[in-house]
Amino acid sequence: MSRLVVVSNRLADPRKPAAGGLAVALGDALARTGGLWFGSSGATAADLAPGEGRLRTRQAGKVLLASVDLCAEDHAAYYQGYANSVLWPVFHYRLDLAQFDPAYLVGYRRVNQMFARKLLPLLRESDLIWVHDYHLIPLAAELRALGCRQRIGFFLHIPVPPPLVMAALPQHEWLMRSFFAYDLVGLQSEADVDHFTRSMVTEAGAQELGAQRLHAYGATVRVAAFPIGIDVEEFQALAAAPDAVHTFEALRAEYSRRQLLLGIDRLDYSKGIPQRVRAFRQLLERYPENRNSATLVMIASPSRDDVHAYADLRQELEGLCGAINGDYGTLDWMPLRYIHRTVARRRVPGLCRAARVGLVTPLRDGMNLVAKEYVVAQDEADPGVLVLSRFAGAAEQLEEALLVNPYDTQGMAGAIQAALHMPLAERQWRHQRLLERIRRHDVHWWRQGFLQALEESSSASAA
């Protein structure tokens, strides 16, 4: 069995439960093969110059954790700049929010080159390398330039936009070319595979070879959908533990005569949070029987505060939330509770279970794991209803959710009304089907599927 090497922008200690399902699932696989996890530490060091990094290694059980400190300038250009102010908005179809500063791209390349230099000496000949997400797209090309011949796979956690959106990215040819240094590219959904393939064919002149293979620039890459799942058993264990049970009981008692709706996200413009608030307002307006009853709890964890677009979103949201409470609140009922904080992971299942309706309404999302967590947390005898944006990757799998268009405020209000008043039998059959699919396609299925496909691929350098 090959040793697994995971590379991601940030390291998480897989032994800490707060790390979440993905870190735990990758940690399991790493522990089995005695692996290496490589990424940035998130810390910046004043004594480093651009392009320099300080590597630290630490053994955590059978896993070697290797993290790299950057200088503040590199962190700003690579992480806040190119990754989060260019790739994130463009890949979420938000060209209006992208900041195409050429210095960002220079920093992004510089940091990826430095990561390749730091990683190369840690590699063994038979390693299987799994690179994660948009921060590291050119990493394989940089490793290959240094002579790395191991198999390298890439998984993109965010969506792929259609070809003409991708083409708006200055130097997109360079970015596309860098995907061909991988042996396998995994995407979240079939829609993403379609967009990716069409971009490569129209913009990079790639040939489709069949069997999910694309050929361009003298290399062949396999591209396929590997929809990510959650660790169902871990989440169920979390749901049965005291913190989640207490959270559930406290909310049930508080809302015994009211209906609770829940939204949990990072505060990000891709998550459709203002659109959700507008739909909730419309619900109260059009269906007055919900006044003094339906209560929306929204927990939005702080995210990327240092990027401009996020501060604007925060302001917009505070205005919308304040206006609803001002217009519809009474002395003993506030329609909306907006909390700009991260809740402890161990309380999330209790929150989900207490909510009659789970609102997951992104304008675009690679997958969205909250949708899956909400379903798994429900009481099978009396389950709540998932209202899910059709623009989340999860919608391809979760057809029995009430699928909505978050841009259609009236339509979304109608779906929320239907969810609040759905008969028990319908709630149960929808829930059973969703749960069954989420169980079958969990995070272990995802990881095994990807790694097996990578094992089977021949190295790009050998092709």
Does residue 156 interact with ligand ADQ by CB under 6 A? Answer: no
Q: Do strands 336-339 and 357-360 pair parallel, antiparallel, or not at all (unpaired)? A: unpaired
Distance CA(303)–CA(79), nearest Å, equals 13
Does residue 236 interact with ligand ADQ by CB under 6 A? Answer: no
Minimum distance from CB of 247 to ligand ADQ (Å)?
A: 12
CB of 383 within 8 A of CB of 426? Answer: no
Out of 266, 314, 346, 439, the only residue in the binding site for ligand ADQ (CB under 6 A) is 266
387's CB contacts (< 8 A; 6+ apart) are 357, 358, 359, 360, 361, 401, 402, 404, 412, 415, 416, 419
Minimum distance from CB of 141 to ligand ADQ (Å)?
A: 23
Residue in the structure block whose two tokens are 């533990």:
241
Out of 144, 157, 278, 441, the only residue in the binding site for ligand ADQ (CB under 6 A) is 157
Judged by CB, which is closer to ligand ADQ: 127, or 373?
373
Number of residues that bind ligand ADQ (CB under 6 A): 21
Minimum distance from CB of 365 to ligand ADQ (Å)?
A: 4
CB of 78 within 8 A of CB of 142? Answer: no
Distance CA(448)–CA(317), nearest Å, equals 40
Judged by CB, which is closer to ligand ADQ: 228, or 261?
228
Considering only CA atoms, which of 351, 340, 412 is closest in space to residue 377?
351
Minimum distance from CB of 15 to ligand ADQ (Å)?
A: 17
Judged by CB, which is closer to ligand ADQ: 348, or 435?
348
Out of 264, 320, 357, 404, the only residue in the binding site for ligand ADQ (CB under 6 A) is 264
CB of 370 within 8 A of CB of 401? Answer: no
Judged by CB, which is closer to ligand ADQ: 88, or 328?
88
Distance CA(411)–CA(369), nearest Å, equals 23
Minimum distance from CB of 307 to ligand ADQ (Å)?
A: 14
* Buried b or exposed e, range 337-372, using 16+ CB within 10 angstroms: ebeeeeeebbbbbbbbbbbbbbbbbbbbbbbbbbbb
CB of 157 within 8 A of CB of 367? Answer: yes
Site for ligand ADQ in 68-127 (CB under 6 A): none
What are the tokens at 223? 């591209």
Distance CA(321)–CA(278), nearest Å, equals 9
Minimum distance from CB of 268 to ligand ADQ (Å)?
A: 6
Stretch that binds ligand ADQ, among 144-152, 262-270, 414-422, 445-453 (CB under 6 A): 262-270
Minimum distance from CB of 321 to ligand ADQ (Å)?
A: 15
- The DSSP letter of residue 94 is -
Phi/psi region, residue 241 (left: phi>0; alpha: psi -120 to 50; beta: rest), is beta
Distance CA(109)–CA(113), nearest Å, equals 6
Considering only CA atoms, which of 372, 394, 384 is closest in space to residue 439?
372
Angle at 293 between CA 290 and CA 296, to 5 degrees: 90
Judged by CB, which is closer to ligand ADQ: 264, or 320?
264
> What mask, x for binding ligand ADQ by CB under 6 A, covers residues 340 to 379?
--xx-x--x----------------xxxxxx--x------
- The DSSP letter of residue 406 is T
CB of 451 within 8 A of CB of 151? Answer: no
CB of 392 within 8 A of CB of 371? Answer: yes
Judged by CB, which is closer to ligand ADQ: 14, or 20?
20
Site for ligand ADQ in 280-309 (CB under 6 A): 299-301
> What mask, x for binding ligand ADQ by CB under 6 A, covers residues 324 to 343?
------------------xx
Minimum distance from CB of 256 to ligand ADQ (Å)?
A: 25
What are the tokens at 115? 């990561």
Stretch that binds ligand ADQ, among 146-154, 179-187, 251-259, 261-269 (CB under 6 A): 261-269
Distance CA(133)–CA(66), nearest Å, equals 18
Catalytic residue list: 157, 365
Out of 5, 158, 200, 283, the only residue in the binding site for ligand ADQ (CB under 6 A) is 158
Judged by CB, which is closer to ligand ADQ: 368, or 378?
368
Judged by CB, which is closer to ligand ADQ: 105, or 394?
394
> What mask, x for binding ligand ADQ by CB under 6 A, covers residues 384 to 413?
------------------------------
Minimum distance from CB of 360 to ligand ADQ (Å)?
A: 8
Following CA atoms 257, 261, 266, 272 in sequence, which dihedral angle do they give, to the nearest 10 degrees? -150
Judged by CB, which is closer to ligand ADQ: 12, or 176?
12
Chain residues binding ligand ADQ by CB under 6 A are 20, 157-158, 228, 264-266, 299-301, 342-343, 345, 348, 365-370, 373
